């Protein structure tokens, strides 16, 4: 059983003193990151010098000794050093062309978080203590136990836009295992049905955002009437953020349940590569596509398939899965999005639009994997066709 890094995220409730110190820590982390980024930019622009992590770390030591930034000594030094390490990683990823150039963190928009390494926290018998928090353990809701015998390597404390506090523990733990399965499934993502399986199974779309739209509209309307930078505006902003958090939590919970069932039951899973970012340019369907959260579905499915030792195959987005007959392989011409069932003129089979697409996705993925077959179908003519995208 191979070991690997895993993360466990829990909600916790800080005391007023803990909340105040952590809030200051978040601000110091953001400030040090921005100062490090500015220093690296100036070093290159003025002297063509490339500052590394060690260079910015030495600058941090000097900043703490100045009267202007002496308040940096009030918080743990480890999160500040980790922010400079993250900055160094951002530069490395930029030079590898894996990400864009690092940007300055905004007080209003940036994620509020601080990372503590092993030297800045203690974990013992379910009690987690952080450096400079007066020795009080965090009031963590241990919703699931950590694996036996593991000790966290890093602890990340964060606060979301709705004001909720979370702690994430990274541990070295054995990967999740499951008995080998002979199941194979093709999965077609949609809007009316969140997903349809090649075996006919389906998950209806609960439309989480639509369920909360009235509450969201009311909260946003109240927010728009509040004076800028007032306390009442901040209270109204929190109400809006809590509605968004409720929607996101329900959406994430559903996708976690669906993806876990899929990887437990099937050895091979085949999905379609959806160009979600391009599809969001369709302003008629953008809200519904965003609410379906297909990107989250793929992210969860990818990491769970790797954990469970499953095979995940991805069919190219241009594959005409909807308008290809899964029985005789005849390619139709155009099928309007409103047409949910259609009849193949080649073999006379009556198809459910989504089930037919899922079966074609499964067949295409298996064919390409087994023998390197060309997954493009043979072109033909029939009465009505058209890819659903």
Do 245 and 164 form a contact (C-beta atoms < 8 A)?
yes
Q: How far is CA 164 from CA 112, 216, 236, 303, in A?
A: 11, 18, 16, 26
Closest to 70 measured CA to CA, from 40, 31, 22? 31
**DSSP-assigned letter for residue 176:** P
> What is the DSSP track for 106-167?
PTTTS-EEEEEEGGGEEEETTEEEETTSTTPPP-EE-SSPPPTT---SEEEEEE-TTS-EEE
The residue assigned the tokens 């946003």 is: 220
In the numeric block, the tokens 């049905």 are attached to 193
Return the DSSP state at 6.
E
b/e per residue 128-160 (b: at least 16 CB within 10 A): bbbbebeeebbebeeeeebeeebebebbbbbbb
Q: Which helix (H) or strand (E) holds 8?
A: strand 3-12
Q: Are 355 and 342 in contact (CB under 8 A)?
A: no
Decide the pairing of beta strands 268-272 and 184-189: parallel
Q: Which residues are catalytic?
A: 188, 272, 354
Q: What's the number of CA atoms in the CB half-sphere (13 Å) around residue 258?
A: 29
CA angle 69, 71, 76 (to 5 degrees): 115
With b for 16 or more beta-carbon neighbours within 10 A and e for fewer, the 172-194 pattern comes to ebeebeeeeeeebbbbbbbeebb
């Amino acid at each position: 059983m191979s070991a690997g890094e895993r993360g466990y995220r829990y909600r916790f409730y800080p005391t007023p003193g803990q909340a105040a110190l952590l809030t200051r820590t978040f601000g110091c982390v953001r400030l040090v990151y921005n100062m490090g980024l500015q220093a690296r930019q100036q070093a290159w622009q003025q002297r063509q010098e490339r500052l590394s992590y060690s260079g910015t770390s030495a600058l941090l030591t000097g900043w703490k000794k100045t009267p202007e930034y002496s308040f940096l000594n009030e918080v743990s030094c480890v999160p500040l050093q980790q922010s400079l390490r993250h900055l160094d990683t951002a530069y490395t990823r930029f030079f590898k062309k894996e990400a864009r150039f690092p940007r300055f963190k905004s007080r209003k928009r940036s994620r509020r978080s601080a990372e503590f390494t092993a030297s800045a926290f203690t974990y013992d018998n379910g009690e987690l203590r952080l450096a400079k928090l007066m020795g009080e353990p965090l009031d963590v809701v241990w919703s699931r136990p950590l694996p036996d015998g593991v000790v966290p390597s890093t602890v990340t404390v964060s606060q979301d836009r709705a004001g909720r506090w979370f702690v994430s523990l990274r541990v070295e733990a054995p990967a999740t295992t499951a008995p080998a399965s002979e199941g194979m499934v093709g999965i077609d993502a949609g809007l009316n049905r969140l997903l349809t399986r090649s075996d006919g199974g389906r998950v209806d779309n609960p439309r989480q955002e639509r369920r909360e739209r009235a509450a969201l509209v009311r909260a946003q309307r109240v927010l728009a009437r509040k004076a800028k930078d007032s306390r009442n505006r901040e209270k109204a902003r929190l109400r809006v953020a809590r509605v968004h958090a409720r929607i996101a939590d329900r959406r994430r919970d559903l996708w976690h349940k669906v993806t876990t069932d899929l990887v437990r039951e099937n050895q091979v899973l085949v999905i379609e590569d959806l160009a979600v970012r391009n599809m969001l340019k369709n302003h008629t369907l953008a809200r519904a596509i965003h609410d379906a959260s297909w990107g989250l579905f793929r992210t969860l499915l990818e990491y769970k398939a790797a954990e469970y030792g499953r095979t995940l195959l991805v069919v190219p987005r241009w594959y005409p899965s909807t308008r290809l007959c899964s029985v005789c392989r005849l390619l139709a011409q155009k099928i309007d999005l409103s047409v949910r069932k259609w009849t193949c003129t080649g073999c006379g089979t009556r198809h459910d639009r989504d089930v037919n697409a899922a079966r074609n996705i499964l067949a295409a993925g298996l064919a390409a994997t087994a023998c390197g077959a060309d997954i493009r179908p043979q072109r033909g003519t029939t009465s009505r066709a058209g890819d659903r995208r």
